Structure 1
Amino acid sequence: MTVRFIHTSDIHLGKTYRGSGCDAQRYQDFFATFAGIVADAIRERVDFVLIGGDLFHTGQILPKTFAKTIEILQPLKDAGIPCIAVEGNHDWIHRRDSVSWMEALSQLGYIRLLRPSRTADGGYLFDPFDPEEGCGGHIEAGGVNIYGLGYIGSQAGNHISRICDAVATKRNILLFHVGVWTYSPVEIGNIKPEEAMPLSECFDYVALGHGHKPYIVNDAQGRPYAFNPGSPDCVNFGEERYDKGYYVVALEPDGKAQHEFRRTSPRPMLVVTANLDGAANATDALERFKVEMAGKLSGCADERSPLIEVRLAGKVGFHPFELSRDRLRASLCEISEPLHLEIKNHLSLVAGGGGEEKVKKSLAEIERDVLGELIGANSQYQGRVEELTRLSLALRDLVLKGDVEGEELLSLLSSGGEPCA
C-alpha cells in the first residue's frame, strides 16, 4: 500500500535572542511553526512523521522548552501517529553519561528516537526499536522499514558502505542528519554526492536534515531519492533567501516518492545594506540611513514585526562608532518596529592627507588583519591562516550573540570548520 508521511527537520525549538527584549515572541515563533506541522499531520492522517534532527536549538534546553514540546507533540500521540526522529548536531548531548532531552521524549513515548549501535569492528547494528526502553536503530511503520542515524560529523562519507551493509530489508527509509555537498548551504557535516549514491540502492527515500535550505538529490537514473526540507523557520540571517517548509510524501509500492513541498509562513527576516558613502557627519548619515531604509522596507506587507540585519557600507567623514546601535534603532523605529535588529558596521573613515583622500581600514578589516598576523606567526599554521582567522571570528560572533552552549563551541573547535546550521 501507499504510505503517506511528513518529513521535517531543523525545527530549533528554544531558539531566541538573549537579552534583546524580544525573547518571548521569538521563542514562541518556532513552537508555532512546529505546531502548524503537527496540525497538518493530523489533518492529513499521515502514517508517521519524520524529524531529521535538530528538534532543539541546543542540547541543554530549559524545562519549559521540554514541557512545551510535549504539549505540541501530545495531539500526535493521541492520534496514534508515530513521530520518528534522530539527533542533530544541535540537540546532541556531548556527555554520554547523561540522558538527553531527546532520549527523555522517546522514553515517554512522544517520539521514537533512532540511534544505531556499533559492532567491535566499526560496523552498524540497527536493532529493532524497543518502546519500553525508548531506543533502537530501526522501526517498522505503515509497512515501511525506517532506519535512523543522527549527526556523525564530517567523516560521514566513510560510513555509507557500513550503513548499507547493515540493511537487509526491502522498502526502506533512512533518516540521516547529514548534508550533501553542492546542495547544502553549510560547510561541515556533509558528504559528497558520489559518497551518498550507494544509499539510493538500499533506500527508497533518504530523509535528510542539517542544512536549512531545501533540496533534492537524484540518483544516476534521475530518480529523486534524497530529500532535505530545510528548516521550516528562519533560524539565522541569510535564510530569508530560502523557501521555508516541509515535505508531505506518498511512498508508492514500487518505491517512487510523490513529494509535495508545503510552505510555512515564518516571521519576515530582512537583510538590507545602507550605503552611507560620502556622509560628512553622523547626523547626515542618520538622515540618509532613514531614507534608504524607508525605501527598502516599503515592500514588507507582513503585519508581524520583522527581524532585520542592517549592513552599513561606505566611506564616511566621521568615526563609525558615532553611529551607535541605539541611534540607528531609534531612527529605524520611525519607519518600522523590528522585533530584533542586528547591525554590521563596515563603514570606513576617510581622512585628508597631503591633498589626497586617504581611506583608513574599517574596524572589521583591522580585526581580521591583526588576527591573521598573530595566527601566521606560528609556523604550524602556515597555509591555514585564512581558515583559522575565519573560525576565530565566527567563534567571537557566536559568543557575543550568546547563541550557543559551551559544548557546541568545543565541538566547532574540534571540527576546525565554520558554525553549523
Structure 2
Amino acid sequence: MRFIHIADVHLGAVPDEGKPWSSKRKQDLWDTFAEVIEHAGEEQVDFLLIAGDLFHRQPLLREIKEVNYLFSRIPHTKVVLIAGNHDYVHPHSYYRTFRWEDNVYFIGNQEIEKIVFPKENVCIYGASYWQREIREPVYDKIGDLEADKINILLAHGGDAKHIPFSVQKLCDAGFDYVACGHIHQPEMLAENRIVMAGALQPIDVNDTGQHGYWEGEISKRGGVVRFYPIRKCEYVHLPVAVHPNMTNHELLEKLSEILSYAEPFQIYKFILSGRKSPELEIDTAKILELEHVASVVEDTVLDYDFDKLKETFDNQMVGRFITAMQAKEPDAVTKKALYYGVDALCRTMRHL
C-alpha cells in the first residue's frame, strides 16, 4: 500500500505574529496542507496518515469544514487522523460531533483503537489526546497485532509529558510502520519503519531546517519511505561575530549584506557573539526592523582591559574583584562571572 505521512500542520497558528510577513505565514500553513492533499489525489495514494496536531488549538467549526472539503477532493484516498496535544478532544470540541466525509477516519478515542481495512489488508492503530499532557507510555499497552496484515500505528508524542515511547519497543511490537508526530524536526527513527514526520511547515523561529511530508510504500515484506521538503519558509540560526571597534551602523550594514544573499523563503535568527566595546549598546530593535529577521540574541562579552582596570582601581572594589576572580580556576563559569561582575561594577560607577 502507498501512503503519505504528515503531522503538526498547526492550522490556525500565526507564526511570527506581529511581523510584516505573519499573515502570509499563516496562509502558508493552509496552502501547504492543500498542496499535500492535491498531491495525494494526483498520486492516488491509498492512505493519508495525519499523526496529530492538524490544528494549532481547538479547531473552529468553519476550519473543520474547510479541511473536510479538502479531504472530499481525494475520495480514493483513505484519510486517518488523530488529535494531538494542541488540538486535543476537549469536552466541547467539534471533533466529538463532526460528520466527516466517507473516506475520513478520525480515531477519537483516548484508548488505543484499531481500524481494519480489508481491501488493503491494513490495520491502523491510534488514540487521540483528551488533555494537553499524557505522561503514560500508552503505546506500550497495545496487545498482539494481526500478523497477516500490514500493521500501522499513528503515534503522537515522544517526550516526558507527551506519551513517551521507546523506538526499540515499537520495533519489537511488530509494527510495519509507525507514523509519529509531535517533534517538529523530521527524522527517520528506525529505517523505513518508524518516522517522526516533523512539522509540515515551521511554526516558530526555533523550527530550523527542512520541513515537508513523507511518502512511502509498505508491504509485509518491508517498505521504503522518503522525505519531500516544501520550502515556503525556512528558519536559519546564524552566528555573527562582533568586534570591539564595531558600531551599530557597521553591524547593521553587515547584517544587511548577509540578508542580501538570503533565499526568499529564509527567515533569520541572528546570534551575536564575540567581544564588544563596553560603550556599545547594540540596537536590537533596529536589527529587528530588517526584512526577514525574526529574532536577535546577544551573546557577546565586553572587551575590558582587566589589567588596566586592576591597576587604575587597585584599592577599590573593581580592582579587588578582578584580583579575586583571576585567582580562581580559569574555567568558563569564572570567566563569565568576571566579565559580568566587572560590567556591573563599571556601570554602577558611571552612574554615580
TM-score interval, normalised by the smaller of the two chains: 0.7 to 0.9
Ranges in structure 2 where 5+ consecutive residues have no aligned partner:
311-321, 323-337, 345-352
TM-aligned CA deviation for residue 321 of structure 1: 5.4
* Percentage of matched positions with identical amino acids: 22
More helix by share: 1
Distance 1:245 1:265 in 2: 8
| Partner residue in 1 for 2:56 | 57
CA contact (8 A) 1:106 1:113 kept: no
Q: Pairwise mapping of residues 16-415 of structure 1 onto structure 2 (< 5 A)?
A: 16=14, 17-59=16-58, 61=59, 65-76=63-74, 79-93=75-89, 96-100=90-94, 102-103=95-96, 107=100, 111-116=104-109, 118=111, 124=112, 126=113, 137-140=114-117, 142-151=120-129, 155-157=135-137, 159-165=138-144, 170-179=149-158, 189=162, 190-199=164-173, 201=174, 203-218=175-190, 224-241=192-209, 243-252=210-219, 254-279=220-245, 284-294=247-257, 296-300=258-262, 302-304=263-265, 306-318=266-278, 323-325=283-285, 327-330=286-289, 332=290, 337-338=291-292, 341-349=294-302, 355-356=308-309, 360-361=339-340
CA contact (8 A) 1:318 1:350 kept: yes
CA contact (8 A) 1:214 1:229 kept: yes
Partner of 2:143: helix, strand, or coil? helix
Distance 1:18 1:248 in 2: 31
TM-aligned CA deviation for residue 82 of structure 1: 2.3
Shift of the 107–74 alpha-carbon distance from structure 1 to 2, 3 Å rule, reads: closer
Distance 1:289 1:106 in 2: 54
Partner amino acid for 1:328? I
Partner of 1:346: helix, strand, or coil? strand
Shift of the 314–161 alpha-carbon distance from structure 1 to 2, 3 Å rule, reads: closer
Partner of 1:291: helix, strand, or coil? helix
Distance 1:106 1:346 in 2: 52
Partner of 1:10: helix, strand, or coil? coil
CA contact (8 A) 1:49 1:81 kept: yes
Shift of the 41–161 alpha-carbon distance from structure 1 to 2, 3 Å rule, reads: same
**1:257-315: CA deviation from partner (whole Å, max 9, x where unpaired):** 232322222323222222223146xxx13313422451x33543x344x3221222233
TM-aligned CA deviation for residue 351 of structure 1: 5.7
Partner of 1:270: helix, strand, or coil? strand
Distance 2:227 2:154 in 1: 18
CA contact (8 A) 1:320 1:347 kept: no
Shift of the 271–193 alpha-carbon distance from structure 1 to 2, 3 Å rule, reads: same
Shift of the 297–105 alpha-carbon distance from structure 1 to 2, 3 Å rule, reads: farther
Shift of the 105–139 alpha-carbon distance from structure 1 to 2, 3 Å rule, reads: farther
**1:379-409: CA deviation from partner (whole Å, max 9, x where unpaired):** xxxxxxxxxxxxxxxxxxxxxxxxxxxxxxx
Partner amino acid for 2:186? P
Distance 1:111 1:51 in 2: 11
Partner amino acid for 2:227? F
Distance 2:270 2:296 in 1: 5
**1:40-77: CA deviation from partner (whole Å, max 9, x where unpaired):** 10000111211011111223x4566445434533423x
Distance 2:116 2:37 in 1: 20
Name the TM-score, length of structure 2 as normaliser. Answer: 0.75
TM-aligned CA deviation for residue 8 of structure 1: 1.1
Partner amino acid for 1:217? L
Shift of the 226–75 alpha-carbon distance from structure 1 to 2, 3 Å rule, reads: same
Shift of the 53–174 alpha-carbon distance from structure 1 to 2, 3 Å rule, reads: same
Distance 1:285 1:86 in 2: 50
TM-aligned CA deviation for residue 187 of structure 1: 6.7
Shift of the 244–197 alpha-carbon distance from structure 1 to 2, 3 Å rule, reads: same
TM-aligned CA deviation for residue 172 of structure 1: 1.7
Partner of 2:38: helix, strand, or coil? helix
Distance 1:109 1:99 in 2: 20
Distance 1:352 1:341 in 2: 34
| Partner residue in 2 for 1:380 | none
Distance 2:134 2:305 in 1: 50
Partner amino acid for 2:270? V
Which of these two proteins has the greater Rg computed from alpha carbons?
2
Shift of the 143–28 alpha-carbon distance from structure 1 to 2, 3 Å rule, reads: same
What value does the CA root-mean-square deviation take over the aligned residues? Answer: 3.4
CA contact (8 A) 1:234 1:266 kept: no
Shift of the 103–321 alpha-carbon distance from structure 1 to 2, 3 Å rule, reads: farther
TM-aligned CA deviation for residue 156 of structure 1: 4.2
Distance 2:160 2:85 in 1: 13
Distance 2:212 2:180 in 1: 14
Shift of the 311–106 alpha-carbon distance from structure 1 to 2, 3 Å rule, reads: farther
Distance 2:279 2:92 in 1: 50
TM-aligned CA deviation for residue 108 of structure 1: 6.1
CA contact (8 A) 2:68 2:101 kept: no
Ranges in structure 1 where 5+ consecutive residues have no aligned partner:
119-123, 127-136, 180-185, 367-421
| Partner residue in 1 for 2:9 | 11
